Amino acid sequence: MFLRSNERHKCVVDENNTLVFKKCYFDESWYSSSLDESTLTLSDRTLSTYVNALAKAGFFIEQMIEQSDDEIIQSRGNSKFAKKAKMLPVTFVIKARKR
Protein backbone atom coordinates (compact mmCIF):
# COMPACT_ATOMS: atom_id res chain seq x y z
CA MET A 1 0.00 0.00 0.00
CA PHE A 2 1.44 3.36 -1.00
CA LEU A 3 -0.31 6.57 0.01
CA ARG A 4 0.55 10.21 -0.13
CA SER A 5 0.18 11.73 3.29
CA ASN A 6 -1.50 14.91 2.15
CA GLU A 7 -3.62 14.86 5.29
CA ARG A 8 -0.76 16.20 7.35
CA HIS A 9 0.31 18.66 4.68
CA LYS A 10 -3.21 20.11 4.51
CA CYS A 11 -3.26 20.57 8.28
CA VAL A 12 -0.29 22.92 8.41
CA VAL A 13 0.86 26.11 6.70
CA ASP A 14 4.28 27.70 6.57
CA GLU A 15 4.32 31.02 8.39
CA ASN A 16 7.73 32.63 8.68
CA ASN A 17 9.56 29.28 8.39
CA THR A 18 7.40 27.79 11.14
CA LEU A 19 4.71 25.18 10.57
CA VAL A 20 1.40 26.23 12.09
CA PHE A 21 -1.72 24.06 12.31
CA LYS A 22 -4.61 25.49 10.31
CA LYS A 23 -6.88 22.42 10.34
CA CYS A 24 -7.45 19.63 12.81
CA TYR A 25 -5.55 16.47 11.81
CA PHE A 26 -8.41 14.36 13.23
CA ASP A 27 -11.09 16.00 11.03
CA GLU A 28 -12.17 13.26 8.60
CA SER A 29 -15.24 15.07 7.30
CA TRP A 30 -15.99 15.19 3.58
CA TYR A 31 -15.27 18.33 1.56
CA SER A 32 -15.42 19.40 -2.09
CA SER A 33 -12.49 20.50 -4.22
CA SER A 34 -12.48 21.80 -7.79
CA LEU A 35 -10.30 20.18 -10.44
CA ASP A 36 -10.47 21.68 -13.91
CA GLU A 37 -14.20 21.64 -14.72
CA SER A 38 -15.06 18.93 -12.20
CA THR A 39 -15.73 18.83 -8.48
CA LEU A 40 -14.21 16.13 -6.32
CA THR A 41 -15.60 15.01 -2.98
CA LEU A 42 -12.74 14.03 -0.69
CA SER A 43 -11.98 13.16 2.90
CA ASP A 44 -8.64 13.26 4.70
CA ARG A 45 -7.85 10.27 6.88
CA THR A 46 -5.59 9.81 9.88
CA LEU A 47 -2.80 7.28 9.77
CA SER A 48 -4.62 5.21 12.40
CA THR A 49 -7.68 5.01 10.12
CA TYR A 50 -5.57 3.29 7.42
CA VAL A 51 -3.82 0.97 9.90
CA ASN A 52 -7.06 -0.01 11.64
CA ALA A 53 -8.80 -0.68 8.30
CA LEU A 54 -6.00 -3.05 7.32
CA ALA A 55 -6.17 -4.83 10.70
CA LYS A 56 -9.96 -5.13 10.49
CA ALA A 57 -9.64 -6.62 6.98
CA GLY A 58 -7.32 -9.30 8.34
CA PHE A 59 -3.95 -7.89 7.30
CA PHE A 60 -0.77 -8.16 9.35
CA ILE A 61 1.41 -5.06 9.12
CA GLU A 62 5.04 -6.01 8.56
CA GLN A 63 6.55 -2.57 8.14
CA MET A 64 5.73 1.11 7.71
CA ILE A 65 7.92 3.85 6.22
CA GLU A 66 7.27 7.59 6.27
CA GLN A 67 9.48 9.79 4.12
CA SER A 68 9.89 12.74 1.82
CA ASP A 69 11.73 12.03 -1.39
CA ASP A 70 14.68 14.35 -2.07
CA GLU A 71 13.73 14.42 -5.77
CA ILE A 72 10.26 15.74 -4.92
CA ILE A 73 11.73 18.39 -2.63
CA GLN A 74 14.29 19.50 -5.21
CA SER A 75 11.74 19.60 -8.03
CA ARG A 76 9.58 22.00 -6.00
CA GLY A 77 12.48 24.40 -5.39
CA ASN A 78 11.90 26.72 -2.45
CA SER A 79 8.10 26.38 -2.53
CA LYS A 80 5.94 26.17 0.56
CA PHE A 81 5.31 22.51 -0.26
CA ALA A 82 9.07 21.79 -0.34
CA LYS A 83 9.55 23.55 2.99
CA LYS A 84 6.81 21.43 4.55
CA ALA A 85 8.18 18.25 2.92
CA LYS A 86 11.46 18.80 4.73
CA MET A 87 9.61 18.73 8.07
CA LEU A 88 6.70 16.34 7.41
CA PRO A 89 6.69 13.13 5.37
CA VAL A 90 5.07 13.43 1.94
CA THR A 91 4.33 9.71 1.68
CA PHE A 92 3.92 6.64 3.77
CA VAL A 93 4.21 3.03 2.72
CA ILE A 94 2.65 0.15 4.60
CA LYS A 95 3.84 -3.36 3.89
CA ALA A 96 1.06 -5.76 4.93
CA ARG A 97 0.06 -9.32 4.20
CA LYS A 98 -3.17 -11.21 4.61
CA ARG A 99 -3.25 -13.48 7.66
Q: pLDDT of 32-52, one tens digit each?
A: 989 899 999 988 888 899 999
Q: How far is CA 63 from CA 29, 44, 51, 92, 96, in A?
A: 28, 22, 11, 11, 7
User: How many domains in the chain?
Assistant: 1
Give the Cα separation of 18 and 74 in Å (integer). Answer: 20
List the Cα angle 32/48/19 in 5-degree steps: 65
| Residue 19, pLDDT score | 83
What are the helix and strand counts (H, E) for the chain?
4, 7
pLDDT band for position 1 (50/70/90)?
low
Tell whether the torsion through CA atoms of 44, 48, 51 and 57 is positive or negative.
negative
Range(s) of the domain holding residue 54: 2-98
For the entire predicted model, the pTM comes to 0.71
| Closest among 26, 9, 34 to 85, alpha carbons compared | 9
